[in-house]
Structure 1
């Protein structure tokens, strides 16, 4: 665990350090729906590279937010699921989703899923 300066915003810094960046929050949001295989998760994320997804999943696993289950079969099967700690982020992730959708609508944009449905 990296040291933080413990100023008043220190817990926010720690939280953003763990779930911040372009992909981690989105990965966690997609896993709220349940366990996903690697390729299903990659497809749901759109334009993420395989290398970047692997990197982000490893970091989330190291931070105790992702459970990685490897099944000994051919071809290999790997499932990803949220830990109880990550499941506790659900209200935050759903709130970020709702806030982001409202912000995009306010600026005249639509979330990508809504654009595809239109």
Structure 2
């Protein structure tokens, strides 16, 4: 496959492109959580205890911009924001599930206990 440019970035193959969209430390765990229900920012933050406000905000913003997640702001005081997964985001769950299962198998192979 020939190289291609998207958003001023050069990609060499479709896997690299997909990993750019859903890869990284936080995007897949966010999508995994949103597959079953809507979450508020503070709930995601508590669930992903090792993430900073800045990194969670950045990952959510990118997922919203790329159409994997929607953000709904409720006009309340204080404002309430809920995130939910889109159809595009749901398509990624099958891939994330396969990667998760592969990771669990690798952990067993390397003698790492699953907690």
TM-score bin (small chain)? 0.7 to 0.9
Q: Which residue of 2 aligns with 1:51?
A: 54
**1:110 deviation in Å?**
2.9
Larger strand percent: 2
Tell me whether 1:63 sits opposite 2:66 in the alignment: yes
Q: TM-score, normalised by structure 1?
A: 0.84
Q: Which residue of 2 aligns with 1:88?
A: 91
- Trace 1:35-46 onto structure 2 (pairs within 5 A): 35-46=38-49
Aligned residues: 109
Unaligned runs of 5+ in 2: 1-5
Q: Which residue of 2 aligns with 1:21?
A: 24
C-alpha RMSD of matched pairs (Å): 1.5
| Structure-1 separation of matches of 2:106 and 2:53 | 30
| Structure-1 separation of matches of 2:104 and 2:80 | 34
Q: TM-score, normalised by structure 2?
A: 0.86
Tell me whether 1:106 sits opposite 2:109 in the alignment: yes
SS at match of 2:73: strand
